[in-house]
Structure 1
């Protein structure tokens, strides 16, 4: 009672405490923190300040994953939906800016012409024709009953979603139509396209290749590379990235795991040798059943083939390891069989047999009866085999009279077919059933008779024990602890313990995984968390083990460094300087003089066009071929800087294609090509001109 009295005296205090606790709970949800305490945004992104709601986006991803049924990763689905959402927002913003709207009557016209709606059975009459009135009735009923219960509310929401989808698609179609309408070409452009393809030029040329100057003679300074990067920033722009290194601790059976399984299998050896019914003994003791069949030496694992082929009937061999299993095998029977057979067959299919026509009505019993009848006829007269096959067989070999030619023991035949043709003698004729139907088979020839063995095999999978997993956890934990003791400890400890360190460079925020492993979004997300620093180490479970990851570098968005760009830029700058050097050292004004001064011989490029500006032996040289078209016949150019060297050309012939009365076809082709590229081009252009905040990497 005393305690209750004290509680009553402190009622106000209790109310305040409970209120503060509830407030803290609500606030924590409002701030939407993740496990690391990092504050999460409440939207998946923004486009020019317009929000793309997180919950709606997540619902779409969930639906997309359900539709994909595992064929795509979560990130792949999220990326597809993100592009679509950004596209929808950008196009809607463009239409709003242009003052273009879709009115109610237009929306209705869109709905009643939408394939998604007019093909729905619920809006069709008895004859299968879409009825507009049924759609109106359905919508009115949804509106009237949307608050009746949860099911009606959900149905109404589904309709709203369908309606919004149709409207969005209509907006996109409207916008794209406007863009494509502007993707026109003039008749003059049509003529230019015709000329670019059909006008031809032939010229002599002397090429002084850049390779004629030794690279060491050309000085490229670091400042030169930096200047080139500054002048081509868009080309060298990079997104924010991370470098990591990791050590993989795979869950693999230990030696003790293998020894235990090997011992278990070996314990069966004595009983197996004494067993009168080897197959029954196998069925009782094996982990996975293997078909007892005749096996050729070439079909045995190479490491045991000699030993097995030297066994006597009743001998037991093993334990031996194949893949992740330990096995012992008992020789049940030996035989001489060919390794190659030539045969022919007549196939009679029945309804439901593999590869049969869905309209085939013949029953299995009828097919067997037909095959038996054919067998009776052929046994009386083998000469009729080919003629009957051409008429009666349901196999493509019918055109060759059923001839299957030669095939060896490794050919993928059905077991019953294979047993017949390899184990029966030449001349044997019989009926064999397979998944494809009934085969009337004749063995025509056999060759390469050799010893084959029939083995009964007991096997057991090597499994990872709990102790091995515990040991792996301990080992990886020890490495994780020691690797964080200094800046260089990660590599030093790994090297000391013979662990392989795997580096991964320039990992982007939306990358789905890391090199050498399957999808590991958890790793990528961790490296981009605000609180994660260079040098941080963390353990991650993977599909079959653990990885210990360390961040080795963070790269901000911007342009790549001089060192990274040098591989590309130096060769460009070097060729530019070589071109200057070649021009400075050559004052010749004729082709012959230039050739003589450089120990070259003038060559000829014949009938080149602007569409195909390929100079023999030099490759594509648009600038050089363009210069040729700009010169008159017989004229000689100055020195031209090309892709592979410096050129001088002399025009031999210019052949202009005959003028046409109309270039409407060419204009149409140019216009169609532009129109086809317009959708994606305009989307990329809108994106590049917009301010887009992308939070995908935070949530996926």
Structure 2
């Protein structure tokens, strides 16, 4: 009874503890399964490099900077493929900086106060400072130390705002960090040494000649069907080449089917009919710009354009038509379109300007930037030279060294000589203004104070109002395709994927070795969600939902996981099968050549016995192991030749394309290397040029990197 009473009194606590333990175990198991952390929020942890964390938000800041820089420099829109490239570039940049900074810290490399001062204000400032356009003489373009000193006085005064001081401080930080990295690489490159033996070997490899005759039996001479591969054959090849199967990053492969939800013929006909109804309306429209804004999918502003600005057929039609002419409906770039010649005029062929670009972020907003531009405009109109303000106020450092000059451009904004293109806002304002006038214009780059210097030539320009309606699938078409995909998914088990694909009449597609950061798949531009799923799934898993990728409905099945590191034999077995088959064929061909060599005294006899011809070759160098008549380099064969004695039949040598037997006719030695200094310098220069990349590769290979990009990006 005592025990029963004890239990009755404490049963509530016992149950609470039991439930608590069970609940904790459940939560922990879920955390372990999902790869997260119960005790800390790791949703923002993009990576961990040798214990140092890379936060997602910090990475995204750098990614945004690099993306904007790419957009400005290339003028391209950011497609999924380009974004993937910029992400990878940013990742390598971040990882490299972390690893290098760690090495610099270990070695205690610093930039002292005196050294820092010398880099900025000394007799020979750092190159990054001397290359700043703001510190260049406007006439010569050369560095002007007086301009640097003026800026340093300004930045240390009360006149300089916080943003400008911060910007200068960040710039100097980059300069000093670059100096530290230069010191580190100097330690590495100073340790590179080329001795006389290496110099002579390099000279001989590039200049010693060999002439020989060879006979070869191609691997292709034995049909694949007559070769049986054993597990021992695979294992032998794998063990001999294991280092070649190092996977630099985890990849995954999956099969998938795609149900097509693209527009049907009925969808296309319905959209064409819709556009047809607009033809009569646009003909009588008195405000074509408003008509486009109301009826067009693409709200392109109507601006005057010169010949060549439109797609070829439309360009030819419109420049030979009368005002009011309407063309269409026609199909272009996946849309039905109609086009109307809205206006025609003759204008200048080109305009030459100069400008001062003011950054709203530095000034505290667009209004303050425009206010500064207006103030400068009044000073210039009052008699102050335009060039007096360019160096100190323009953030366009490329034009600032030329007094703000911009190459002349046409009505489309295209600069002379293919030097680039300016924004539409800038071009439109410059063509509307009169020669010599000062205008203030806002564009994506900031606020421009523009002076129109010259307007030349005469050219016909036109305005064309284009109304487009994309040819897209109707909801009915999409519903039918999605329903088929859902039905396929519902019928799936882990064993019937292929059978169901055949039953539905859809082709099974394969995505091999997909990286965790991939944004697309073959034929599918933006399949990031599918890739994320693949990197959370286990081998053999089926998706638990239908993925929408463009107008396709995707159902994937994960087929293979290749982890980072040396891949096991079963993972690379299919990949190495051709090479293994060639090795087995090589054994048969070796036996054939061995029999032919028995009793033969010349390469011609050997060739005749095996049913081929001996081929003479002259003047081959070790550094370029190309044998005429053979596809690709034959490193092993040529290496063997240079290690042979003349006039002696070789044993069979397994090459890339087949098995070879050869005889060396003779070597032609180059003149002795009397002064190897130049040879040493050439080799050393090559080593130094490669040092940066090799150092970073070595640091990455030895680093412990936890990469969460597949889940977070």
Please state if 1:164 is matched with 2:173: yes
Answer whether contact 1:209 1:644 (CA < 8 A) is retained.
yes
CA 1:572–1:117: 2 relative to 1, 3 Å = same
Tell me what 1:612 maps to: 624
Identify which of 685, 689, 692 aligns with 1:672. 685
**Aligned-partner Cα distance in 2 for 1:506–1:582:** 39
Deviation at 1:57, TM superposition (A): 1.7
Deviation at 1:515, TM superposition (A): 1.6
Say how many residue pairs are matched. 518
Instruction: Classify the secondary structure of the residue corresponding to 1:183.
Output: coil
Instruction: Classify the secondary structure of the residue corresponding to 1:536.
Output: coil
Instruction: Classify the secondary structure of the residue corresponding to 1:537.
Output: coil
CA 1:352–1:562: 2 relative to 1, 3 Å = same
Deviation at 1:594, TM superposition (A): 2.8
Unaligned runs of 5+ in 2: 1-30, 72-76, 297-301, 303-311, 315-326, 340-345, 355-455
The one-character-per-residue Cα deviations of 1:553-579 (angstroms, maximum 9, x if unpaired) are: 341413462542243332342244235
**Aligned-partner Cα distance in 2 for 1:71–1:108:** 41
Tell me what 1:509 maps to: 516
Deviation at 1:80, TM superposition (A): 1.4
CA 1:204–1:44: 2 relative to 1, 3 Å = same
Tell me what 1:185 maps to: 194
**1:531-610 equivalent positions in 2, closer than 5 A:** 534-542=541-549, 544-545=550-551, 547-557=553-563, 558-559=567-568, 561=571, 563-582=573-592, 584-585=594-595, 586-588=597-599, 590-591=601-602, 593-610=605-622
Tell me what 2:385 maps to: none
**Aligned-partner Cα distance in 1 for 2:481–2:178:** 56
Answer whether contact 2:267 2:472 (CA < 8 A) is retained.
no
CA 1:216–1:45: 2 relative to 1, 3 Å = same
**Aligned-partner Cα distance in 1 for 2:655–2:512:** 35
Please state if 1:476 is matched with 2:482: yes
**Aligned-partner Cα distance in 2 for 1:351–1:265:** 34
**1:318-333 equivalent positions in 2, closer than 5 A:** none
**Aligned-partner Cα distance in 2 for 1:438–1:157:** 47
Deviation at 1:535, TM superposition (A): 1.0
The one-character-per-residue Cα deviations of 1:611-642 (angstroms, maximum 9, x if unpaired) are: 23333334543444344433444444444443
Deviation at 1:509, TM superposition (A): 0.7
Tell me what 1:95 maps to: 104
Answer whether contact 1:537 1:550 (CA < 8 A) is retained.
no
**Aligned-partner Cα distance in 2 for 1:574–1:84:** 45
Tell me what 2:709 maps to: 696
Deviation at 1:552, TM superposition (A): 3.4
The one-character-per-residue Cα deviations of 1:226-281 (angstroms, maximum 9, x if unpaired) are: 3422442332234231414142443526626624753884899xx99xxxxx9769
**1:291-330 equivalent positions in 2, closer than 5 A:** none
The one-character-per-residue Cα deviations of 1:640-685 (angstroms, maximum 9, x if unpaired) are: 4433444443332322112243132222222222222221122112
Instruction: Classify the secondary structure of the residue corresponding to 1:614.
Output: coil
**Aligned-partner Cα distance in 1 for 2:610–2:175:** 69
CA 1:539–1:81: 2 relative to 1, 3 Å = same
- Structure with the greater alpha carbon radius of gyration: 1
Tell me what 1:621 maps to: 634
The one-character-per-residue Cα deviations of 1:317-374 (angstroms, maximum 9, x if unpaired) are: x999756778999xxxxxxxxxxxxxxxxxxxx99526x9999xxxxxxxxxxxxxxx
**Aligned-partner Cα distance in 2 for 1:88–1:263:** 56
Instruction: Say what the alpha-carbon RMSD is for the aligned residues.
Output: 5.0
Answer whether contact 1:95 1:175 (CA < 8 A) is retained.
yes
Tell me what 2:428 maps to: none
The one-character-per-residue Cα deviations of 1:112-146 (angstroms, maximum 9, x if unpaired) are: 5344444557778999425676676567669x99x
Tell me what 2:47 maps to: 45
Tell me what 1:7 maps to: none
**Aligned-partner Cα distance in 1 for 2:654–2:591:** 11
Answer whether contact 2:255 2:559 (CA < 8 A) is retained.
yes
**Aligned-partner Cα distance in 2 for 1:604–1:99:** 61
Please state if 1:75 is matched with 2:84: yes
**1:313-462 equivalent positions in 2, closer than 5 A:** 352-353=348-349, 437=458
Tell me what 2:59 maps to: 57
State the TM-score, normalizing by the size of structure 1: 0.61
**Aligned-partner Cα distance in 2 for 1:123–1:184:** 40
CA 1:111–1:594: 2 relative to 1, 3 Å = same
Answer whether contact 2:337 2:468 (CA < 8 A) is retained.
no
Instruction: Classify the secondary structure of the residue corresponding to 2:145.
Output: coil
Please state if 1:235 is matched with 2:244: yes
Tell me what 2:230 maps to: 221
State the TM-score, normalizing by the size of structure 2: 0.60
Tell me what 1:659 maps to: 672
**Aligned-partner Cα distance in 2 for 1:89–1:183:** 24
Tell me what 1:423 maps to: none
**Aligned-partner Cα distance in 2 for 1:625–1:565:** 27
**Aligned-partner Cα distance in 2 for 1:573–1:186:** 38
**Aligned-partner Cα distance in 2 for 1:155–1:266:** 57
Instruction: Classify the secondary structure of the residue corresponding to 1:616.
Output: coil
Answer whether contact 1:204 1:652 (CA < 8 A) is retained.
yes
The one-character-per-residue Cα deviations of 1:160-180 (angstroms, maximum 9, x if unpaired) are: 533332233222222222323
Deviation at 1:494, TM superposition (A): 6.3
**Aligned-partner Cα distance in 1 for 2:105–2:134:** 35
CA 1:590–1:171: 2 relative to 1, 3 Å = farther
The one-character-per-residue Cα deviations of 1:78-120 (angstroms, maximum 9, x if unpaired) are: 2212211211222222233344443333344445534444455
Please state if 1:245 is matched with 2:247: no
The one-character-per-residue Cα deviations of 1:278-312 (angstroms, maximum 9, x if unpaired) are: 976999999899xxxxxxxxx999xxxxxxxxxxx
Tell me what 1:524 maps to: 531
CA 1:550–1:129: 2 relative to 1, 3 Å = same
Unaligned runs of 5+ in 1: 1-30, 146-150, 273-277, 290-298, 302-317, 330-349, 360-434, 440-457
**Aligned-partner Cα distance in 2 for 1:561–1:552:** 14
Tell me what 1:292 maps to: none
**Aligned-partner Cα distance in 1 for 2:338–2:105:** 77
Answer whether contact 1:582 1:646 (CA < 8 A) is retained.
no
**Aligned-partner Cα distance in 2 for 1:499–1:282:** 51
**Aligned-partner Cα distance in 1 for 2:470–2:483:** 22
Instruction: Classify the secondary structure of the residue corresponding to 1:538.
Output: coil
